[in-house]
Structure 1
Amino acid sequence: MQDMTEDLKKIFQALIVVHKRLNEQALLKEEIVKKGDIPALDQLMKDEMPLVTQLSKLENARRITVRSWLKEQGVVAEDATMEQISPAFSQEEQEMFRELQEALIAEVEQLQEQNELNRQLLEDSLRFVNLSLDAVQPQKNFASYSGKGESGEDDEQGRSLFDSKA
């Protein structure tokens, strides 16, 4: 039991550290998006991948640890929650896990909020880029610049506004 307690404690602490690092990356991402620095954004996303992989491994380790302990206890459960297994811990351990769980939840919520803000910023940036492109690209549906000659056929392979004859 003590081994499982220590293993879970280490896993929770590591999950908190990784989420803190992801939160730092998310804040950096906000600044990069505001600046419009695409190469820096690309690099930051590459730098995040090992953190995401580490999260996955930690979550897998948590599942295996809990499943193994449940098996030792003769309990058959696919994926138990901390609430379900907390009665097996001492009062002191329960308090420690509650604090770790609260810290992890706070980091996850902060990351979700920052990611939502970053998503909105990216959408706004894309809208701006699309508006800018629309402003500089000629519209093909202007009646007098349709690219059709008097006969109604394409005039010299559909030149754009800037290529048309004077």
Structure 2
Amino acid sequence: MPIKTILASLDSLEKLHRSLLRLAYDKTTLIKNGEMEKLDQLLKDEQAHLAAIVQMDTGRQTAVTKYLTDQGRLVPTNPTIADLLDNAPEADKKNLEEARDRLLHAIHDLKVQNDLNQKLTYQSLQFVNLSLDMVRPRPESANYSKTEVNGNKSTKKQVTFDSQA
């Protein structure tokens, strides 16, 4: 199997990761604006991208395995581009290194954006919890009072919704 097939799969992986990065940027905007319906659809699109990436990476591994086998080399369980670079001819090494570096850069950018989205989501959740805490009544103290120790505790029913308001 020629190196060109492997390079094509690396290019496709890079394109998929860049497309996923665009979705991550869109996700940031949707989180900031609180557009949950659109965010839900975007998450479905993300899942489709991830499935395509897994399928493409499986194809890349198969191509690397076939190339190494055709060269009579030892094939590791999960062959990587680094394994291929060790056994590739000098003429193809530069192209493989460039394709690998572009893919790694796209993955790094995606990781940074996903970290930001995770922080924004966490902050949104904290805000929601704070808002709920402000609206919810405080529960009674968990400590025992003198009357409870003597057995004269009168229980009050705690109401969370005032229908007369």
Judge conservation of contact 2:6–2:60 (CA < 8 Å) in 1.
Answer: yes
Task: Please name the residue that 2:146 is paired with.
Answer: none
- CA RMSD after TM alignment: 2.2
> Mapping of 1:1-166 within 5 angstroms?
3-76=1-74, 77-141=76-140, 152-155=153-156, 158-160=157-159, 163=162
After TM superposition, give the deviation of residue 142 of structure 1 in Å. 5.9
Structure 1 residues 71 and 138: CA distance shift in structure 2, 3 A = same
Q: Distance in 2 between matches of 1:126 and 1:91?
A: 52
Q: Give a deviation string over 1:57-78, Cα, whole Å, max 9, x none.
A: 0110111111122222333322
Structure 1 residues 106 and 161: CA distance shift in structure 2, 3 A = closer
TM-score (structure 2 length as normaliser): 0.84
Task: Please name the residue that 1:147 is paired with.
Answer: none
The gaps in structure 1 that reach 5 residues or longer are: 144-150
After TM superposition, give the deviation of residue 161 of structure 1 in Å. 6.5
Q: How many residues align?
A: 154
SS at match of 2:2: helix
Q: Distance in 1 between matches of 2:57 and 2:163?
A: 62
SS at match of 2:96: helix
After TM superposition, give the deviation of residue 82 of structure 1 in Å. 2.3
Equivalent residue letter for 2:108? E
The gaps in structure 2 that reach 5 residues or longer are: 143-151
